[in-house]
Amino acid sequence: MIKRWTSYFSEMGPAWIVSAVACGPATLASVSIAGASFGFELSWVVVFSAVFGATAQYLAARIGIIEGKGIISVTENRLGSLWGWLLAIDALLATTIASLVLMNALSGVTSLVTGVKSTWWGAPYAAFISASLIRGGYKWFENLCKLLVAFVVVCFIVTAVYIDIPLKSVIRGLVPAIPVGFESALMIAAIMGGAVHITIIAMHTYNTNLKKWTTADLGLARFDNTLSMGFAFGLYSLAIFIVAAGVLHPNNIKIASATDAALSLGPLLGKKAMLVFLVGLWAATLSTISPTFLATAYFVFDIMNWELDTRDKKFAYVIVISTALSALGPLIKGSFFLLLPLMLALGLCGTPFILAIILYLLNKKEIVGEYRNSKVLNFLGVATLLVTTAIAVQFVLSRLSLV
């Protein structure tokens, strides 16, 4: 048993790529705004997002491992070309929106850190990221960004321990309740969309293939997802949420920009809170946006039935086009910190489709044979599908002022 756990720790990986994307600036913005606006009232969404996120990613890992292909080609082969194209369009649309908003955020936080305000920060960033991905990436730089993000997360965790947290309020917040209004519907959809998002669900099927995992690694995949999405992502989002709810909400501080959110670290870092927060936000954005372009390449190559090879000129073309398109992101009007939750909420609206497809495929004996979902996994999977669908519908209806 000990030997197996040791082996798991040394071999895990694909789900951590996904959780690194999930632990990005959009989730940080969403849980911060939710905590500041509603206190601990939305604690249940933060907890459920980790549970459902781990469930969705494990389902994605299962279909990727069992079929040995990415979800788009699996859907095309098993359900037909029409369904494959619909899924590809859904995934590409959500991913493109994400890349535009993330580039907007990267430009915005760069303007705040440097003091040089410009809508054209996206151009040099697009060129840098494009060159990096085509050349295979700069691991030292990626690791630096992750260390900066980890440092900020530690600051939030320490602050959460440092401040006086009203446990009764936290416990009451674990009982599902939806405050009236569009803002609450948006924040609930955004928090859930940070963990259960079509881009990272689809991307994970390709990650497991690139790792060359087989059905013998299904236990490893479950461990990988539980530890990364269930624990690490859960700790990340819960710590930030608790600090915002415990520091900003009691002082009636509403978040309208990134600088407002930085005040949540004030009790621990004082005057340094602003700089530390912004540098961490910059690192989180830069480390999150690159995988979205890789996801775009995965989806395009799969629907076009091209063999994925990063040395292929077509890979370079897809990366260059997608990064160049994202350079237009900074032209989007509005506070980038408020656009990030909207991005996640919109992404959640496209997510039930891929969840329904994966659940259907994993319950067809003629497709997956002995690896059909267990009753427990189906319960969690169906719960994830129903809850995310209900939240997405609530968000859309609230936006249309129908509820």
Higher pLDDT, 66 or 12: 66
For the stretch 344-400, pLDDT in tens is: 999 999 999 999 999 999 999 988 899 999 999 999 999 999 999 999 999 999 988
For residue 4, the model assigns a pLDDT of: 52
Predicted confidence band of residue 402 (pLDDT cuts 50, 70, 90)? low
For the stretch 111-158, pLDDT in tens is: 999 989 888 899 999 999 999 999 887 777 777 878 888 899 999 999
Tell me: domain 11-399, CATH 3.20.20.70, correct? no
Answer yes or no: is pLDDT of 340 > 80.
Answer: yes
For helices 81-114 and 336-349, angle between their N-to-C axes, nearest 10 degrees: 170
Stretch 86-112: mean pLDDT: 96
Answer yes or no: is pLDDT of 2 > 50.
Answer: no
For the stretch 249-299, pLDDT in tens is: 999 999 999 999 999 999 889 989 999 999 999 999 998 999 999 999 999
For residue 259, the model assigns a pLDDT of: 92
Query: Rounded mean pLDDT of the chain?
Result: 91
Answer yes or no: is pLDDT of 220 > 90.
Answer: no
For residue 203, the model assigns a pLDDT of: 95
Question: Domain ranges in the chain?
Answer: 11-399
Predicted confidence band of residue 168 (pLDDT cuts 50, 70, 90)? confident
For residue 9, the model assigns a pLDDT of: 46
Q: Looking up tokens 């040395």, which residue turns up? A: 311
Contact, 334 vs 134, CB < 8 A? no
Answer yes or no: is pLDDT of 198 > 70.
Answer: yes
For residue 5, the model assigns a pLDDT of: 46
- Nearest one of 339, 392, 388, 7 to 201, comparing CA atoms: 388
